[in-house]
Structure 1
């Protein structure tokens, strides 16, 4: 999965979580209002109260207002950091980077720039050494490596997405079965029933073309479809009903068509699929379907004469005695009721008055009031405004950094290609934008603390060669990563300076190979401290325990994680590298060549030991045997 798709899914997931939280508060409020106003609010308006819930769940964004209910009940206050967690890139981004695509180089360098923007001078491990691209991932199953990096937020997102896919598949299957059942039905064309059907259709004011079908596979009275609706009734039920009773049932079904209830059921079902994890949404849809049936009764009674109210109610009882109702499906509106709901329906039918279905000042007032406080977002506080100002300044500084000379060396594979550099820059701008959005949700005092601490660490690393590991409470300010590195990178343009430092290190180092081809001279060297080890868990634990927005710890290291020597003859480049294998190690041992396509340069030969990977790369063709001999001569145990 590409990082852009992963980012999009995370964004959708964050929107769903936020909408679900807001709608949950609204649902509780509506249930409370319905309970308090149960004898004062007409049936139609009890159903219409659920419309703001559907709008809230589908609303991509809303204007801010000081009247918003979410000024009091906010997701950030109840679950701090949930927005940041749904914005970070972790598992899928890393997995994609291991896929071996040609655009890998540009993306792999992304942490480098984001690190620079946040003062994280330490580049992503191996970003300057293409020998580390996709090598280890070839030696073991990719899914296991990815699973180990799967964050809790990504696990939640995958669970949510799985639920959405399962419910979507179930919905499609149910609809296919429903269409098949409809195809097996027989059109009702008897003069008596056809005349009654047309008469009732005219009575309810339905002008659309509607079919009348008898089917045993769709038990009971129901409306199927909303674009080309079909009224379906069971033949076994038809024979038990009198003419007047059939008209009452048809009036109820035409009321569904007049009110576009099947279309509304589809919308509610889509909402339910997206928010399947929220029990309050399930409750809201269930109650809305119940209120829909009662509102439909009210619509039918409004077109019938008042003397028929009792007979209408008796017909409902008769039908439900022979037909228990079908499970709720989005593609139909079926006559159904539980015992408790039937009692509510009969009470409404008994007390129904024609004026109760018309405009209600109380109902309109309640819907407008609900919309004014729940269909608007919380007004941004002063603290958040300050944080946003700080994040905007950070973005401006970051953009300015694009036009400044780099204070570290970018990979030549990036700087040598305008396409790679443009892609690289684009990825950094995306990271800046995400950090800007994340900063809006962070308290101003935390933003200030982060700035001061980073400035302090920056000064320390400029004054010495010390290395610091930083734990980030707000990962989105660090490209979705909870750790970053300052210092620990030493670069040399004189071989003697490099060798003085390398000789002081523990473990194996690289030295000038005696069998280097003629014409090649030393160009530059690089030594990097470790980014893996026991200290990683220690920093995480200490950082979480401190509770600080950012926590820094100095790391003393004696053995380099990466060493790189580069030689040039003025035209071609020969590079020799040493790097630490990850904790999984490698199934490959000894010497082996890369498996990149033949036209891809530089060409590599790798040497894997139990702990380290040594490599030699050339930008020109050189026999494998010669590369191995040079690599052996360069490694000093």
Structure 2
């Protein structure tokens, strides 16, 4: 969720820059897409998804994006797919290999320590936020009611809204009448938009993703957009002539003190004073076409970031260009995967390979809980007159496909094809073909994984396998 939200945050930051001349309310609304990604692990799928640009792994039909395998600590070679090959390679090069089953698993120990650190950091931030809020409440207990929901006290230096069910505006003493008008309109805008709920909720979300620097940056920029959009609302309602005096009010409040930095209160004048003043002085009411254009950009970005990429459909009629000796090269390269636990990719690889006539697929089974890790592909005979020759099935096609799978699945150790014959006397599989990575490397004299780097290398491997004859034990002659 945090990785996905990071990509969305980058898209929002870039869009904010493109919308710098538009009212800040539009930039403020953009952060909704990041919040959705941080909170909800599933989403709807759509062909219009910006996440397609980073090519994340997806679980078909679930709307769940997977960047880290759930059995990461159990894999022989733990892998992370960050969606961008360069980032994935950098991360995976730093991950330790899992230890043998009889000894401590280094990866599991690291994940356990990281979990403790994450929980500790979350608890500390939540405790800090609660303590800051209670400290603030104690400072405003003696505030005097001015009118309606407005209270005044000399124990604060900057105005803010406080309260979740009955929000109140607290102002420092000594404000002039025109300063008070600006401040009240600003804080009333916060209340009308329910910002006194949004900012605390955003901070709570941040505490669960505190380890991600992009989320801290997003929270800071969201808070800035929130304040600037309220400033612009004041200018819209009171006119451009108040820009100078309103900016002076902001500056004078900043001089009084550093403000209340508790993580949840919406403090008027809290930080970013220079940027807010520059925005007020440069602000112009947008033309209708800028407003409409900004709304369309926001709608497109929120929809594109909230949706998961729809899995690309593969036509049943494969083009001649994509086929090579019966192998769908585009499908094979598109489903190349770092770890065997990604059943979507493994299934895609098997679907891109030729299947002997007379057999019907019955699914796959992935062994990822303990090493060695493997794949079992199940078939059933539906036409024994086509399959059987001299009372048996030739294993050449299965062994060739096994070598291809070993080259395209980075951490798989063995491939098994299990064929059941419902017409036979036994319920157990009638035929079974198994090829281990060790046997494949001995057979070809080298590691087969480098052949999976591109289509050219994969074609060379296919040509090489076509020249080999496999006997019943899987040996090549």
State the shift of 1:63 in Å: 1.7
Match of 1:519 in 2: none
In 1, Cα distance between equivalents of 2:308 and 2:57 = 13
In 2, Cα distance between equivalents of 1:21 and 1:89 = 19
In 1, Cα distance between equivalents of 2:241 and 2:121 = 49
Contact 1:76 1:82 in 2 (8 A): yes
Q: Which of these residues, 260, 264, 270, is aligned with residue 198 of structure 2?
A: 264
Match of 1:325 in 2: 259
Structure-to-structure mapping, 1:391-470, within 5 angstroms: 438-442=342-346, 444-445=348-349
Match of 2:413 in 1: 550
Secondary structure of 2:346's partner? coil
In 1, Cα distance between equivalents of 2:346 and 2:203 = 35
In 2, Cα distance between equivalents of 1:357 and 1:231 = 33
In 2, Cα distance between equivalents of 1:182 and 1:280 = 31
In 1, Cα distance between equivalents of 2:315 and 2:412 = 16
Change (3 A) 1:383 1:269: farther
Deviation track 1:210-234 (CA, whole Å, cap 9, x = no partner) reads 3525262x54222223322232334
Contact 2:157 2:259 in 1 (8 A): yes
State the shift of 1:319 in Å: 0.5
Match of 2:385 in 1: none
Q: Which of these residues, 357, 371, 394, is aligned with residue 482 of structure 1?
A: 371
Match of 2:38 in 1: 57
Change (3 A) 1:163 1:233: farther
Contact 1:301 1:354 in 2 (8 A): no
Larger Rg: 1
Match of 1:86 in 2: 70
State the shift of 1:291 in Å: 1.1
Deviation track 1:114-144 (CA, whole Å, cap 9, x = no partner) reads xxxxxxxxxxxxxxxxxxxxxxxxxxxxxxx
Change (3 A) 1:243 1:436: same
In 1, Cα distance between equivalents of 2:102 and 2:176 = 65
Contact 1:211 1:229 in 2 (8 A): no
Alpha-carbon RMSD: 4.4
Contact 1:24 1:281 in 2 (8 A): yes
TM-score normalized by the length of structure 2: 0.58
Q: Is 1:23 aligned with 2:5?
A: yes
Deviation track 1:488-517 (CA, whole Å, cap 9, x = no partner) reads xxxxxxxxxxxxxxxxxxxxxxxxxxxxxx
Structure-to-structure mapping, 1:350-365, within 5 angstroms: 350-353=281-284, 360-365=291-296
In 1, Cα distance between equivalents of 2:200 and 2:112 = 24
In 1, Cα distance between equivalents of 2:244 and 2:153 = 27
Secondary structure of 1:231's partner? strand
Structure 1 unmatched ranges of 5 or more: 1-18, 92-144, 199-209, 386-434, 453-473, 487-542, 556-637
Structure 2 unmatched ranges of 5 or more: 59-64, 76-99, 317-338, 357-363, 376-405, 415-435, 440-477
Secondary structure of 1:212's partner? strand
Q: Is 1:303 aligned with 2:217?
A: no
Change (3 A) 1:73 1:88: closer
Q: Is 1:75 aligned with 2:56?
A: yes
Secondary structure of 1:477's partner? strand
Contact 1:245 1:315 in 2 (8 A): yes
Q: Is 1:159 aligned with 2:143?
A: no
Change (3 A) 1:46 1:294: same
State the shift of 1:362 in Å: 2.1
Match of 2:466 in 1: none
Change (3 A) 1:441 1:334: farther
Contact 1:88 1:479 in 2 (8 A): no
In 2, Cα distance between equivalents of 1:343 and 1:267 = 26
Contact 1:27 1:53 in 2 (8 A): yes
Q: Is 1:245 aligned with 2:179?
A: yes
Secondary structure of 2:151's partner? strand
Change (3 A) 1:75 1:554: closer
In 2, Cα distance between equivalents of 1:384 and 1:251 = 59
Match of 1:254 in 2: 188
State the shift of 1:287 in Å: 0.7
Contact 2:160 2:268 in 1 (8 A): yes
Match of 1:171 in 2: 126
Change (3 A) 1:87 1:54: same
Contact 1:446 1:549 in 2 (8 A): no
State the shift of 1:320 in Å: 0.6
Match of 2:247 in 1: 313
State the shift of 1:180 in Å: 3.9
Q: Is 1:229 aligned with 2:167?
A: yes
In 2, Cα distance between equivalents of 1:550 and 1:485 = 5
In 2, Cα distance between equivalents of 1:308 and 1:363 = 26
Match of 2:325 in 1: none
Structure-to-structure mapping, 1:262-301, within 5 angstroms: 262-301=196-235
Q: Is 1:345 aligned with 2:276?
A: yes
Q: Which of these residues, 29, 36, 61, is aligned with residue 18 of structure 2?
A: 36
Secondary structure of 1:232's partner? strand
In 2, Cα distance between equivalents of 1:278 and 1:175 = 22
Change (3 A) 1:56 1:546: closer
